Structure 1
């Protein structure tokens, strides 16, 4: 998607068109912000209802992890079996009776199809419900889809040029991401790096405006919260050396993760197999949660534990294997969801495993510092968005500015090796 020709010079643009464009930008940010806020509030409400913990922890950073840990093992299995029924029947109904789904990347492509409103909303709601019940997939796709749907509808009604409509769809998706995670800069960078794939000042301005508005609107119901509360870490020479060495290893692991999840999505169950495999998969995930309750949910709990240096080598290794296993099996069973937080958690867990070994040679770095750097490096390669990953991790954690040095070094090493693996694997 090229941008310079999509935005005519201001002197050549009629005033009515500029007014319409401005109104669409503002309303897209507002709509995406409200959508992201309502989806996040629905997620929290279902979590509390399903696992029976108090409403006073509605926006607590570890509320879901604490809730599932406190719940009885019977309740964990029962809720996950229910999740399997909801996921299997829900997506079977969508694929059987709904209009064909249109992804955001399809919608922003040249002459891309229009996202069907009812099917897209049902798809987004089902993702939120299943993640709230304990699905190991991410929740970020749903608010992005809602934001893109809002933006596309407004742009078409305003009669904007087709190229501008596609840009507004992309910005709506970024605003939805910004709203649900309170990452106004990350949402804008995601638009430019991942959805648009090029840069222009007008596009950057619109992306920044919609993401900032979306994040600000979501504060009404969610507050201006930080996704992860971390201790005060400082970068040290040994952490920088570790980042240089661990980055390439993260790239190899991220390439393997993306291959596994990609193949699982390609072979996802459809037809009568979908409800059957979904019920079996989620029930088995509930059985795993008897011993490892941290596997439930999108991975925010394990990531927070990693950033807090609260994981031992043994527990981190078990959670790493379990997280990759349940994420892949859930995609194969036909469930839908994002991979942003699962990839973040996987990178943090892998970094802790590597960091424990490093501390035997050069002790002194807190495990949480390894986890933050590793999470960024793994996320950057597994989702092919190095700049977005750096910005998101910084906004997620509010980590000290000097931490950018080891994060960037690890991301560069990870992305270079991951892309080399992709080239070699062809």
Structure 2
């Protein structure tokens, strides 16, 4: 048995501050990074393989230079509808069976705050695989929750087997989530900051060192199957005075939009059925998305397609506006029907599309900025506010796009405005809810952990 020295509990450590031997903690940290990296890599490979089979492009190569949007656009309209109908069947029957026969799911956010941070292994794995399969088939929700859940469930099991204390186990479960994110998107710094800012709420050394280590290890491990690639290939963008002024002025607009989006998605997810209605609504929802995809193939998938087009200035203002409205509608509709997935990449796409529209109007007043530059800034602002993670959003957008360091200036201006506005709206809504005699939805900020960053 390892020797430990009990100490008094503090308000931040309500269970115990007992520490395991350093060698054991280091071993668990290393294995968490490796396991999360392998899990993220395998999920990404599964997603790519299903995409290629479903839409019939580059079938001989799971990883190719042809993007998902290219493959969807090249598929026949009939095939798009058929694949989305299959997606509805998988989503409806899959999640209905999971809720009916599986153990209750535990979100990452809840696990990190629990005395016993372990998550049900089989139910969590099934939940993650269902997300990957449905996103690969065209679901508009994000795929980032699945690798986070796999990393967390692995870290929780490993911590329990190694005999780590409750406090250390919570740190490792959070690190497993960040490492999964780092692996699937090749964002080692973003994964670490996500752990510290969103899940643990501290940048102390006890959390910072394992967070950085696990995310770096996971990203390197995932290179074996996914390569050292970044998410978006963005043409060189120029910083300009009009862009900086626009970022400061439009930051609050992104905050208002993000608040509205979280209100909509929170209510949609809260009203989602888990009984026999789930298969029916899921089939209907995805059949409608398949019909929309006949004219707008950009709608299919987690939002990477329209975001990439926005970053490279390949969308007109009119098309961006249409895609934005439809993207928000099908995202909320899919959550309302009972489908599961993240809102990180949909948030990036929404911010980029909204920025194309706002930037296009701004260029009529003060021309000289490319629409791609507006999109990068808008994506960061919307993501930061909608998921209430300003530092993580900035780091993720920089790692996703590899934009010039100078772009931090407009990005930070926009993020500051959007997050501040979001918080003001959430506070006002909370005050209104407290004084209202009729039941209203929970404030977006309070429900955000469950709706987006927390997991399920």
Please tell me the TM-score bracket, short chain as reference.
over 0.9
Gaps of 5+ in 1: none
One of 119, 123, 130 as aligned partner of 1:119: 123
* Pairwise CA distance, 1:270: 1.7
**Corresponding residue for 1:197?**
201
Q: Which residues in structure 2 correspond to 1:98-177 (within 5 Å)? A: 98-112=102-116, 114-177=118-181
- For residues 180-208 of structure 1, the C-alpha deviation after alignment (integer angstroms, 9 at most, x for no partner) is 00000000000011100122012101100
Q: Which residues in structure 2 correspond to 1:262-341 (within 5 Å)? A: 262-341=266-345
**Corresponding residue for 1:244?**
248
One of 257, 263, 267 as aligned partner of 1:259: 263
**Corresponding residue for 2:427?**
423
Provide the secondary structure at the position in 2 that maps to 1:228: coil
Provide the secondary structure at the position in 1 that maps to 2:280: helix
Q: Is residue 75 from structure 1 mapped to residue 67 from structure 2 by the alignment?
A: no
One of 82, 90, 105 as aligned partner of 1:86: 90
Cα separation, 1, equivalents of 2:392 and 2:414: 14
Q: Is residue 413 from structure 1 mapped to residue 417 from structure 2 by the alignment?
A: yes
* Pairwise CA distance, 1:114: 2.7
Q: Is residue 359 from structure 1 mapped to residue 363 from structure 2 by the alignment?
A: yes
Q: Check the 8 A contact 2:117/2:156 in 1, yes or no.
A: no
Alpha-carbon distance change, 344 to 220 in structure 1, aligned in 2, over 3 angstroms: same
Alpha-carbon distance change, 185 to 61 in structure 1, aligned in 2, over 3 angstroms: farther
Cα separation, 2, equivalents of 1:83 and 1:300: 18
* Pairwise CA distance, 1:112: 4.7
Q: Is residue 381 from structure 1 mapped to residue 377 from structure 2 by the alignment?
A: no
- For residues 334-376 of structure 1, the C-alpha deviation after alignment (integer angstroms, 9 at most, x for no partner) is 0000000000000000000000000000111000000000000
* Pairwise CA distance, 1:266: 0.4
Q: Check the 8 A contact 1:2/1:198 in 2, yes or no.
A: no
Cα separation, 1, equivalents of 2:352 and 2:275: 36
Q: Is residue 211 from structure 1 mapped to residue 215 from structure 2 by the alignment?
A: yes
Q: Check the 8 A contact 2:15/2:115 in 1, yes or no.
A: no
TM-score, scaled relative to structure 1:
0.96
Provide the secondary structure at the position in 2 that maps to 1:243: helix
**Corresponding residue for 1:38?**
42
Q: Check the 8 A contact 2:58/2:64 in 1, yes or no.
A: no
Q: Check the 8 A contact 1:247/1:409 in 2, yes or no.
A: yes
* Pairwise CA distance, 1:111: 1.7
**Corresponding residue for 1:66?**
70
Provide the secondary structure at the position in 2 that maps to 1:115: coil
**Corresponding residue for 1:394?**
398
Cα separation, 2, equivalents of 1:197 and 1:212: 20
- For residues 219-266 of structure 1, the C-alpha deviation after alignment (integer angstroms, 9 at most, x for no partner) is 000001010010111211110000001100000000000100010010
Q: Check the 8 A contact 2:247/2:410 in 1, yes or no.
A: yes
Q: Is residue 368 from structure 1 mapped to residue 372 from structure 2 by the alignment?
A: yes
Q: Check the 8 A contact 2:87/2:139 in 1, yes or no.
A: yes
Alpha-carbon distance change, 358 to 299 in structure 1, aligned in 2, over 3 angstroms: same
Q: Check the 8 A contact 1:137/1:342 in 2, yes or no.
A: yes
* Aligned residues between the structures: 420
Q: Which 4+ stretches in 1 moved above 3 angstroms?
A: 1-8, 55-62
Alpha-carbon distance change, 296 to 365 in structure 1, aligned in 2, over 3 angstroms: same
